[in-house]
Chain A
Amino acid sequence: MENSIFENLQSCAISPSLEIGSYEALWDQSEKMGFAKLAKMFASGAMFPSHFIATEVAEKYYAEVMKRVQNANLNQFGVRIRGTLDYKPSFLEACEPLEVIYYEGLWDLVYTPSVAIVGTRHPSEEGIRRAKKLTQGLIEKGYTIVSGLAAGIDTAAHSTALEYGGKTIAVIGTPLSEVYPKENKDLFARIAKDHLIISQVPFIKYEKQNIKTKRLYFPERNKTMSALTKATVIVEAGETSGTLVQARAALKQKRKLFILQNNFDNPRLTWPKRMEEKGAIRVKDFNDLWVHLEY
């Protein structure tokens, strides 16, 4: 039976709700599903999640997602799908480009020039002070501040951006329906209301996972943060910080990677030197940073 002209036209478009449902189903139907595996499946760029999942299954998952969106009182919820005009091309430069990105807030903030400020969850007072000063300077220069909403350096970066009337984007390692850490509930709400929160984490699968596998989303979102931004600045980080995942991603994606001098001064750390050898830029004072950033 031949397709009608209308059906032919329809096949040239995607339906966002079905892509959401299909993405969730893909994650949920295989124990081993991960971002690397998904990226392989979609490497050609010509396929969409809905190519792999029956419509009625996708509809079911979509309905489940929307229940969670409503329960979490997500206000400006939306989705970005690879292969459409609304997917910012810089996301394609990630080693494993995301197929689906969820967001809450004003998506268009991704088109503003942005810098990621990241670091440890347990910073020194000096580290917090540096994060604030750096954020303030970047805001004055018109940059949007991107961070991961974690405790410590991330929280300092987001809060300072808000305090100085700047723009900020949080790239989180939980679904949009969860706030982590809990004490950032108000910060999350403020960013969601007037700025932007981004998550690549599937709602349904996440609920079925244990703490150990849930944690794996955090370093994954660090790669996304790097792909989104023009540069990443590491304020303060330990030897095993997720921040280092972002550092490696930034270098791989040909983004600028800045490391503040204090990290080099710490004799217990080996990573600053290693990253510098691979192309990271050492920042002794913020003027170094402006020069490199604008160049």
Chain B
Amino acid sequence: MSINAKAQKIDKLIIQDHRYLDRDDECFFFAEYFNKDGVIINQGYGAGDNLISNLKIKKSETKRLKYGHKAKAIKQCADLIVKCFTVDKLKECLFIPIPPSKTKDDPEYDDRINQILISIQEEAKLINSDIKFIDLLSTKLSREQTSSHSGKNLTPKEHIDNWVISPLNEDLNKYEVIIIFDDVITTGSQFKAAKNIVQSLNTSAKIIGLFVARRVLIHKKNQG
């Protein structure tokens, strides 16, 4: 199934949902999800289509059937991005994935973000083009996913402290636009952390954020 959808900018209507973002941060997303008390009510582009929850299916629960859902969600995310922004425009940019919350040796290590980027590369190859990404960042110590209910929200600095920067980063200077990519943006802390790191390595590129979904804050009405 292919989906044609326009990306949306995190603008002044919604930026307050993402504590660490400033007005000059250029961030884009495709879908919103309402995480009420840690439960995704029903994210999707149609009843029962749970793009984000399928994407986040854990290794421990990846029975074969479920894995099919996950693989499909990965492909759908890649499709969304390529259809919206086109290979022609994306080939001029460099993608930098936000690293998984777990380390490579952790049984729950999940590289779905890279899988999406690889899938995007494959789509580009079909028209003899190339879209580039580099694994600039990797995690030192496994931690809870920030978007999970029990996950503790780290500050940008705490994220930076828990990442290793790959020495293979001289390529960064070649790009006019660098896209920091993740599946869900919650507080914006990881984006900010990655943006800071990229800026410290390369000051000339325009740095933007691209996310499949953004978490909508459920406001508690002040009764009284």
Contact = CB atoms under 8 A, between A and B. Distances in A.
Contacts of A9: 85, 89, 93, 177, 208
B14 A16 contact: yes
Given A4-B176, A6-B206, A12 B86 contact: yes
A137 to B, nearest CB: 21
A112 B36 contact: no
B34 A106 contact: yes
Contacts of B92: 5
Contacts of A4: 176, 206
B28 A108 contact: no
A13 B7 contact: yes
Contact of B12 (A17, A81, A88, A106): A17
Of all A-B residue pairs in the complex, the 5 with the closest CB atoms, nearest first, are: A13-B7, A111-B42, A108-B41, A85-B5, A85-B31
Interface in B1-33: 3, 5-9, 11-14, 26, 28, 30-33
Interface string A1-30: 000111011101111111010000000000
Contact of A15 (B5, B11, B32): B11
Interface of B: 3, 5-9, 11-14, 26, 28, 30-34, 36, 41-48, 80, 84-86, 89, 92-93, 176-177, 206, 208, 216, 218-219, 221
B208 A84 contact: no
22 contacts: A4-B176, A4-B206, A5-B89, A6-B176, A6-B208, A9-B177, A14-B9, A16-B11, A16-B14, A18-B11, A20-B13, A75-B219, A81-B6, A84-B6, A85-B30, A86-B8, A88-B45, A88-B46, A89-B46, A106-B41, A111-B42, A112-B47
Interface residues of A, number: 35
Interface string A73-102: 001101101011110110000000000000
Contacts of A13: 6-9, 28, 84
A113 interface: yes
Given A12-B85, A75-B219, A111 B14 contact: no
A188 interface: no
A203 interface: no
A85 B89 contact: no
A242 B40 CA distance: 36
Contacts of B43: 108
A14 B28 CA distance: 9
B85 to A, nearest CB: 5
Given A79-B13, A111-B46, 15 more contacts: A6-B26, A8-B89, A9-B177, A12-B6, A13-B8, A13-B9, A16-B8, A16-B9, A17-B13, A20-B13, A75-B219, A84-B5, A85-B5, A85-B80, A86-B32
Contacts of A112: 42, 47
